[in-house]
Chain A
Amino acid sequence: MKRRDFVKKATLSSFATLIGAELVFGSKMLNGYTPLALQDPDPFKLFNKHKDMVMLNDKPWNIEAQAHLLDDKVTPNSCMFIRNNGLVPEGINPNSWILTIDGESVKNKKSYSLDDLKSKFSHHTYQLTLECGGNGRAEFDPPAKGNQWTIGAVHCASWTGVRLRDVLEDAGINSNAVYIGYHAVDKHLSMDPEKEPISRGCPMSKALQDETLLAFKMNGEDIPLVHGYPLRLVAGGWPASVSGKWINRISIRNKVHDGTKMTGTAYRVPCKPVSPGEKVKDEDMCIIESMPVKSLITYPKTGAMINKGKSLTIRGHAWAGELEVNKMEYSIDFGSTWKTCTMEKPANRLAWQHFSAKVDFPESGYYEVWARATDTNGLAQPMLLPGWNPKGYLNNACHRIAVKVK
């Protein structure tokens, strides 16, 4: 940051030297806005990401974590995955940012500045689990099209903002409202201004939950640009694509929102189970809502070698979409026997839960520690891949780490 500030100042003053005058409107250049030419080409520095994050795609940016990077109870920015559908917007001015509430089912179309939102509505902070619908896609066979996420497209950060419900109710919701759909300022990859990279949403019941926020802070600070500055919709427990970034408009719809990536096969799975590789018609695909139960062992990092007779402490997180996790187990014999982990209650609804266990190994050799969560409806993670689907969503198979005992 400091280095970049220095470069910015140095470059601004060299502009001044060059043209013999102050850079016209130089003083009006926004705080925190770095001219594009000065941006660091290294994405790990540009987005302040940990060096062990894995870049899947650089246009658009898609970067995932590894299990051991997610050990913190509240995920820091450095280890949060990035999933973008379009190009990160440039030159955002928070002072002129406007959020508009419109749509067929709004009583009064209304616009709010960021200051309006912050001053008019009460603030709330929640830890919210956001997992990409395609997390785990890389394991499907036959392979599914798209970014090949392994296990790291999930995080649970602390989000602060106003309740979407309070804002929607301020504008007024007609009784025929069905869904909300968001719109944002990111650009389509083709640069076609008519196209939105993504415009998703959720049913009114999800939009009106206490924890569904229009957030302006993440982990107590301004949301980083790549995660949606200055305003992000955050709907924990649902595919993270519902949590739109750079939001400038929310439409209250009288039908299921039909924006980009709401229709066809995007973020949808077959309504009825299909065999691997089977073709599924668009009309037989249903929108994903709550994400399934899942867990990650975040300590130790896979590949640990320990001495015989020593016990191993494992820990991690478990989450279950709209539900809670009420049982957490581990196995060192490929599921023949399971032992219970200790587990904490969530910090709030839709936050992931932390588990730990002390693992003893009977003899030396190669082991895998498998973790399995069960939700409050009694559904557990499968050890094998769950039902194949054309786009490779919802892989909640058990996570495991390799351990050698010497």
Chain B
Amino acid sequence: MNNEESFRGQIMKLYRLLMLLFVLFVISGGGLVYYMNNPGFFDFKSNSDTIVEVPIEEDEDRIENGIHVRTGFIEADGMMTVINNCTNCHSAKIVTQNRMNTERWNATIKWMQETQNLWDLGGNQEVIVNYLVTNYPPKSKGRRMNLSDIDWYELDE
């Protein structure tokens, strides 16, 4: 009994709140329509000589210094095809970490299709593989590389 009453009470509260939200929605909607028709409504006189910083619209495919910011891919022919086909399941980072030739990329794509639910890429496969071998070619490392990028610091013991 008690539980049922409190449950009913909760439902009533929820109902009242939803009604309130609906009314608020209608009022603010009306306000927005008015504002769209009178875009100067909030332009007060004093604003005319202040510098207003307009936020740059966040472009998810923004390029900076030749790099696609969101994924880290090098901007070049075929990049968007790579992004659209190769970053749905996994991160772009596993692509850019790996440096392979055409044959091995094709084998990797075949493996992803056979075991990882990758779709048929059709004509895009050549575009993707060309982009990868052109922009991420294998580097020769030999049997052991020099130590590089050493961050030198004073050590006092």
Contacts and interface: CB of A to CB of B under 8 A. Distances in A.
A107 interface: no
Interface string B121-149: 00000000000000000111111110100
Contact of A147 (B89, B97, B141, B154): B97
Nearest to A59: B91
Given A57-B94, A147-B94, A303 B151 contact: yes
Interface of B: 10, 13-14, 16-17, 89-91, 93-94, 97-100, 104, 108, 116-117, 138-145, 147, 150-155, 157
A312 B157 contact: yes
Given A189-B116, A302-B150, 10 more contacts: A20-B13, A56-B97, A57-B93, A57-B94, A58-B91, A190-B116, A301-B153, A385-B144, A401-B147, A404-B152
Contacts of B17: 18-20
14 contacts: A55-B93, A57-B94, A58-B91, A139-B145, A141-B143, A143-B100, A143-B138, A147-B97, A148-B98, A189-B90, A190-B89, A302-B150, A303-B151, A304-B155
A60 B98 CA distance: 15
Contacts of A59: 89-91
Q: Is the interface of B mostly helix, strand, loop or mixed?
A: loop
A189 B144 contact: no
Interface in A288-345: 300-306, 310, 312-313
Contacts of B151: 302-303
Interface residues of A, number: 42
B117 A192 contact: yes
A368 B152 CA distance: 13
A368 B17 CA distance: 71
A204 interface: no
Contacts of A190: 89, 116-117
A359 B27 CA distance: 78
Contacts of A55: 93
Contacts of A384: 143-144
B157 A141 contact: no
A402 interface: yes
A46 B11 CA distance: 37
6 tightest Cβ-Cβ pairs between the two chains A and B: A141-B141, A304-B155, A20-B13, A59-B91, A190-B117, A189-B89
Nearest to A191: B89
Interface of A: 18-21, 55-60, 139-143, 145-148, 189-190, 192, 195, 300-306, 310, 312-313, 368, 383-385, 397, 400-402, 404
Contacts of B116: 189-190
A305 B14 CA distance: 68
B29 to A, nearest CB: 19
B97 A306 contact: no
A68 to B, nearest CB: 11
A299 to B, nearest CB: 10
A310 B157 contact: yes
Nearest to A194: B117
A369 to B, nearest CB: 11
Contact of B153 (A143, A192, A304): A304
A306 B155 contact: yes
B93 A142 contact: no
Given A190-B89, A304-B153, A305-B153, A20 B143 contact: no
Nearest to B147: A402
A368 B139 CA distance: 24
B66 to A, nearest CB: 22
A383 B143 CA distance: 10
Nearest to A141: B141
Contacts of A148: 97-98
Contacts of B139: 143
A317 to B, nearest CB: 20
Contacts of B142: 141
Contacts of B94: 57, 146-147
Nearest to A307: B156
B14 A20 contact: yes
Nearest to A388: B143
Contacts of B99: 143
A368 B144 contact: no
A223 to B, nearest CB: 24
Contacts of A305: 152-155
A21 B14 contact: yes
Given A19-B17, A139-B145, A303 B153 contact: yes
A145 B104 contact: yes
